[in-house]
Amino acid sequence: MLLEPKALENIIVGLVVNNRFKWYVSPKDIWFLDMKKQEEAYIKKFKEIGLKNIFNSIINDERKDIEILDEYSFKEFVSRINKYSVSADELRELLILNLHTESKEDTFYNFLPSLYINLDMRKLYSMYPEPASYEDFVPENWMGIYQDFLSKIDREEKYWYDENGTDLLNFESNGGKR
């Protein structure tokens, strides 16, 4: 695992492409799907409050030349983010370690998945706790939703369950049933 989950910095993202699910732990900034919309929103906000445009778009290597991340541009993007790919087992092991070394509250926020992106269905679900509003910056013909998405994830990918089926952080009140 290249990066460890850290609330508000390195987020956990579930991604579905061609009906295949994969977890990523990566810098949060690479997941604003439509960076052009994001920039326009910032510029508008600065004008509303009477400030000069101080929007400084930081382009990560992963997003260089990919202004809009969608089902068409993803092929190029995926090769750049493979280094952030992580298995449910790796996340589970790190989660258990963190429960022994960090507070349960910190572990909860660090390990709560932030985004679930389904490229096949052109949907982004967000549970990101800060006002970043990933769901507002999706490409045309996409749906962005701020909503609990944990029930959309197959049980074997739910790293927050231990081998006995216990929800280690009480993420799901229904026991993870779909």
pLDDT value, residue 47: 59
Flag whether pLDDT at 178 surpasses 50.
no
pLDDT value, residue 45: 63
- pLDDT tens per residue, range 36-66: 887 787 676 655 666 555 545 555 789 888 9
**Contact assessment for residue 21 and residue 15, using Cβ atoms and an 8 Å cutoff:** yes
What is the average per-residue pLDDT within 66-73? 92
What is the DSSP code (8-state) at residue 116? E
